[in-house]
Amino acid sequence: MKKSGHLMKTISRYFIAFLSSVFLFAFLILLTLRLTLFSEGYIEKQAVKADYYSELTEEINRQIENSALGSNIPEGVLHQSISKELVKKDVDAYFKAMYNTGTKYSISNEKEIQTTVSTAISHYMNEKGIQTTPESEAAVTGLSENAVKIYKGYVELPFLVSYGRKVMNYKSTLVIFMVVCGVLWALLSFSLYSSLRGYVHRLFRYWAYVWVGSGLMMLVAPAIILIQGTLTRLGIQSKAMYDFIQTYLSSFLWLFIVVGAVSIVAGIVFGLLSEVKRKQLFSV
């Protein structure tokens, strides 16, 4: 009977430790999501890291140039139609609209784009001695308006706004679940401590299991995805968007790995502390 009672206590402690590990794992996942998918600042940092603004500016200018080739406007005339500063300003405003439901988005200055394109073409025509006619003026106006459409098409991505706003609908729910998981982990830890009759070194030993287990769960899946190179097979034609999305998702997965690694290190530290405390207790 005594052995049976001891076995049941041991099993119950391991079960409590298992539940504690699950809730800690859930807390770490929710915390990581809060710092990444639910953060406007995070997506802007990844845009800078991926050099998204520069690459997007190049793509837009290249497309504007290509659209004008049919009107006998050679390459080089419109290669600086859009500035990186303007792209950054509008993209950042677009990100803000993604994460703030009540914010309406529109590009900052259509007239500036039209004027820049029209001026560049007019300057080219003057250099080449091309006479201005009502037809050519209408063509220039058409090209400048088309440049605005191209610009909007690259900057305004409806699926991103839809994604951002759907995500933000769950922000408060995520925070609530995160707090609940944290509280449950604390309560289970207290319960475990009570069942161990106040032996701190035993609690540290169980915490070592809990933190290492949670860390391994955090680390394994993202590591497999990165090793398999799944992110390199994204079907996105735009190089700027491809690099941005890949950088965003890679950083997201790496943060999971880092948090998992920190959890494992914490578990190892608790294991070492447990051994130190045990030796101190039994050396007295």
Weakest-pLDDT range from 123-127, 161-165, 219-223: 161-165
Is residue 205 located within the same domain as residue 259? yes
Is residue 141 located within the same domain as residue 237? no
Judge whether residue 2 has pLDDT over 90. no
Judge whether residue 284 has pLDDT over 60. no
Is residue 148 located within the same domain as residue 195? no
Is residue 132 located within the same domain as residue 53? yes
Residue 213 lies in a domain: yes
Is residue 35 located within the same domain as residue 49? no
Q: Which two tokens stand for residue 78?
A: 């419109």
Residue 165 lies in a domain: no
Judge whether residue 5 has pLDDT over 70. no
pLDDT score of 25: 95
pLDDT score of 269: 95
pLDDT score of 136: 82
Average pLDDT over residues 259-274: 94
Residue 166 lies in a domain: no
- How many whole angstroms separate alpha carbon 234 and alpha carbon 257? 21
Q: Domain count for the chain, please give it.
A: 2
Residue 113 lies in a domain: yes
Distance of CA 70 to the CA centre of its chain: 40
Boundary of a domain, candidates 159, 191, 215: 159
Is residue 103 located within the same domain as residue 54? yes
Boundary of a domain, candidates 123, 139, 159: 159
pTM: 0.84
Is residue 205 located within the same domain as residue 278? yes
- How many whole angstroms separate alpha carbon 56 and alpha carbon 52? 6
Residue 219 lies in a domain: yes
Give percent above pLDDT 90 in the chain: 39
Is residue 47 located within the same domain as residue 27? no
Burial per residue of 73-100, b for 16 or more beta-carbon CB atoms within 10 angstroms, e otherwise: beeebbeebbeeebbbebbebbbebbbe
Name the residue range of residue 104's domain: 43-159
pLDDT tens for residues 36-85? 888 888 989 999 999 999 999 999 999 999 988 888 888 888 888 899 99
Residue 226 lies in a domain: yes
Is residue 195 located within the same domain as residue 122? no
Residue 164 lies in a domain: no
Give percent above pLDDT 70 in the chain: 96
Average pLDDT over residues 9-15: 83
Boundary of a domain, candidates 159, 183, 218: 159
Is residue 29 located within the same domain as residue 75? no
- How many whole angstroms separate alpha carbon 267 and alpha carbon 200? 15
Query: Which among 88, 87, 90, 66 is positioned nearest to 77, based on CA atoms?
Result: 66
